[in-house]
Amino acid sequence: MFQFTDDYKTGIPQLDKEHAYLVQLLNESTNLLNSENTDIQELASYLIDRLKNYAAVHFTHEEEYMEQINDPELPRQKKEHAAFLSKMNNFTIDDSLKVRDLEELLQYMAHWLFSHILASDMMIGKIKITSQNDPFAFTKEYETGIDFIDQEHKTLFSIIREANDLVHAELLHDKFDKIVEILDKLKTYTENHFLHEEEYMENIHYPKLEAQRTAHAAFIEKLVNISIWDLDAIDENQQQYLEELIDYLLEWLSNHILKTDRQIGLWERNKTEG
C-alpha cells in the first residue's frame, strides 16, 4: 500500500488534500487489480480514466494556484503535468494487456506522483527573492552539526554561486556550453553527497532514511530531466533559464537542509544525550 505521510505535505491544504486522494485512488486501484475474476481490459479502462481525470482536475487547481501567486516554476510544472497525462493517454488497452502491465503502470504513477511532490510541488510558493545580503553564503542556520555534511552542503552552495556568476558574466555571450557543464558538475557532486549522507544515516540507524532517499532521488531525477529535456530552451533563452534554475536550486537546497537535513543532527544529539 502507498502511504501519504507528513514528508509529502507541501503546507498548502488544498494541494495536500488532493495529493492524499490521488494516493488513495492508487491504493484502491491496486486492491481492485488483486481481486479475483477481473476483466482486465474493463478494469484498466475504469482505473485509468478515474486516475487520469482526477489528476487532470488536480493539475488545473495546482496551476491556477501557482498562477495566482505568480510562481516562476509554473511553465515547468505545466510541462511535467502534460507529460504525465500523455503517458496515461498513450497506454494501450487491448487483448494483449496483462495484469502485469497494469501493475507496472500503477507503480509508475505512484513513483511519478511522489517524486513530483518532493522535487516540484514542495517548491510551490517558496521561490522568491531572498532578503539575505548574500543568498549563496553557507550561514550558521544551515549547520547540521555533522562536519562532513556541512562541508558538502557548503560546496553545493558554492556551485550554485558559480552558476549565478555565470548568469551575470556580461562579456560571455554564448553561455550554452558553460550551462551544460555546470549542470553536470552539480548533478555529479549532488549524487555523491546524497550517497555519503545516506550511508551516514544508515550507519546511525536514522528512522527517516527512506524519506530522505526518496527526496534525494526525486531531486536527482529533476536535475537529469532539466539537463536533457531543456537543452533547446537553454540555448534559446539562456539568461532567463539560468536565473530561474538558480532560484529553484537555491531554494530547494535551502529548504531541504532547514526542514530535513538539520533533523539528522538533532536526532543524533538527542539520541546521544538520552
Q: Residues 106, 26: contact at Cβ < 8 Å?
A: yes
Q: Which residue matches cell numbers 544508515?
A: 202
| One-letter amino acid of 120 | S
Q: What percent of the chain has pLDDT over 90?
A: 51
CATH 1.20.120.50 residue window(s) in the chain: 6-123, 140-273
**In this predicted structure, which of 54-68, 72-86, 143-157 has the lowest mean pLDDT?**
72-86
pLDDT-derived band at 267 (thresholds 50, 70, 90) equals very high
> Which residues, including other chains, have CB under 8 Å from residue 221's CB and lie 6 or more apart?
115, 119
Give the pLDDT score at 231. Answer: 56
Q: What is 6-123's CATH number, 1.20.120.50, 3.40.50.150, 3.30.470.20, 3.90.1150.10?
A: 1.20.120.50
CA–CA dist 224, 192 (Å, integer):
15
Q: What is the pLDDT of residues 182-230, one digit of tens each?
A: 888 999 999 999 999 999 999 999 999 998 998 999 899 888 877 555 5
Is the model's pLDDT at 47 over the cut of 80?
Answer: yes
Is the model's pLDDT at 131 over the cut of 50?
Answer: no
Q: Residues 48, 93: contact at Cβ < 8 Å?
A: yes
Q: What is 140-273's CATH number, 1.20.120.50, 3.40.50.970, 3.40.50.10680, 3.30.460.10?
A: 1.20.120.50
Give the pLDDT score at 207. Answer: 93
